[in-house]
Structure 1
Amino acid sequence: MAPSPSPDSRPAAVLDEAAETRIVHAVFPGDTNHYHTLFGGTALEWMDQAAFICATRWCRTKVVTVRTSEIDYKHPVPEGTIVELIARIADTGTTSLTVRVDMFIEPMDEHDRTLACTGQFTLVALDDQDNPTPVPGPASATQDEPQS
């Protein structure tokens, strides 16, 4: 399998689209603990999925999560809220990339939004033989701070 194209060969609109992924979930009773807040493990799972999709769209090859770091749970996520996950390419290396994921919560009946959780995920791109393969870089179209 040939290495992924460098971002220089992709149009800016494609870079902007690939550098960010947004996913929305409703928090249902089956997603919560006995306090009626989202399980931390479910939050982590949703964040990892968002990071995976973002990295896949950036690389357009197989990617696997090799590390999670700096997972900060800032606010509980109540049952009955809407959750939006925003994943952005934060950094690229030779065969790996770092994706920052911000989780926002919104009450279903208000126009309010709170940053509930942030995390960093490192993923490695793999070729057809599951060997590390080059990733496009650098991710100049991304931002470090959460945007609502």
Structure 2
Amino acid sequence: MIKNGNGVDETSLNGKPPSASEVQTVELVLPNDTNLLGNLLGGRLMHWMDLAGAMAASRHANSIVATVAVDSLDFRHPVRQGEMVILKAKLTWVGNTSMEVIVRAYAENMISGNVILTNEAYFTFVALDENGRPKKVPPLVPETEEEMKACREAEERRKKRLQRRGK
């Protein structure tokens, strides 16, 4: 770790590609996770998605993060008891202290082997220092055309989010 005169770790401010902080987790849908129809509760899925997104953002920022916004959470297909939920989280955009992460949820039926995209959402996190104050994060260095497109689209979502908040 190399600290400058202001005590900032300069090695952590080098740019990182989205692949460096990508996260994949798996959860099993148990009876306690479901509603009366045997489908995964939306709130439980949102919790799992938030955790996966936070892990990717923390990995990028090398710090604790806090969720500040969730955009476009779409429920496309129910997840049934006994299925696995595969969560994939990847950074799409980075500002000074905040980061956007796309989190995709897939249901895998362990009997048939079928995997289907069930949900996706964009989570915005802010990196926090040891005093709970926003902290500068390393820039994002997109490597593929798809990642560059995701970054441009994230900037548009950010503008709309700020407009809704009156900023």
TM-score for both structures, normalised by structure 1: 0.86
- Which amino acid in 2 is paired with 1:131? R
Q: 2:8 aligns with which of 2, 13, 20?
A: 2
Matched residue type, 1:25: E
Larger helix percent = 2
1:29: which partner in 2?
31
Unaligned runs of 5+ in 2: 1-6, 151-167
1:128 and 2:130 matched = yes
Q: Say whether the 8 Å CA contact 2:93–2:100 is kept in structure 1.
A: yes
Instruction: Determine what percentage of the aligned residue pairs are the same residue.
Output: 32
CA distance in 2, matches of 1:16, 1:87: 10
- Shift in Å, 1:16: 2.4
Aligned to 2:58: 56
Alignment of 1:1-148 (within 5 A): 2-3=8-9, 5-8=12-15, 16-18=19-21, 20-141=22-143, 143=147, 144=150
Please report how far the alpha carbon of residue 141 of structure 1 lies from its aligned counterpart in structure 2 after TM superposition. 4.3
Change beyond 3 A, Cα 1:85–1:140: same
Identify unmatched segments of 5+ residues in structure 1.
Answer: none
Measure the CA separation in 2 of the matches of 1:64 and 1:52.
7
Q: Deviations over 1:38-83 (max 9, x none)?
A: 0000000000000011111111112100111110011001111011
Structure having the larger proportion of residues in strand: 1
On the 8 A contact 1:51/1:101 being kept in 2, the answer is yes
The answer to which structure, 1 or 2, has the higher relative contact order (CA under 8 A, 6+ apart) is 1
Answer whether contact 2:19 2:90 (CA < 8 A) is retained: no
3-state secondary structure, aligned to 2:88: strand
Q: Distance in 2 between matches of 1:53 and 1:32?
A: 24
Alignment RMSD (CA, Å): 1.8
**Distance in 1 between the 2:74 and 2:116 partners?**
14
Which amino acid is the alignment partner of residue 86 of structure 2?
Answer: E
**Pairs aligned (count):** 139
Deviation at 1:111, TM superposition (A): 2.4
| Residue 25 of structure 1, CA deviation | 0.6
Q: What is the distance in 1 between the residues matched to 2:9 and 2:119? A: 34
Give the letter for the 1:79 counterpart: Q
> Which protein shows a greater Rg?
2
Cα distance in 2, alignment partners of residues 50 and 82 from structure 1 = 15
Q: CA deviation at 1:117?
A: 0.4
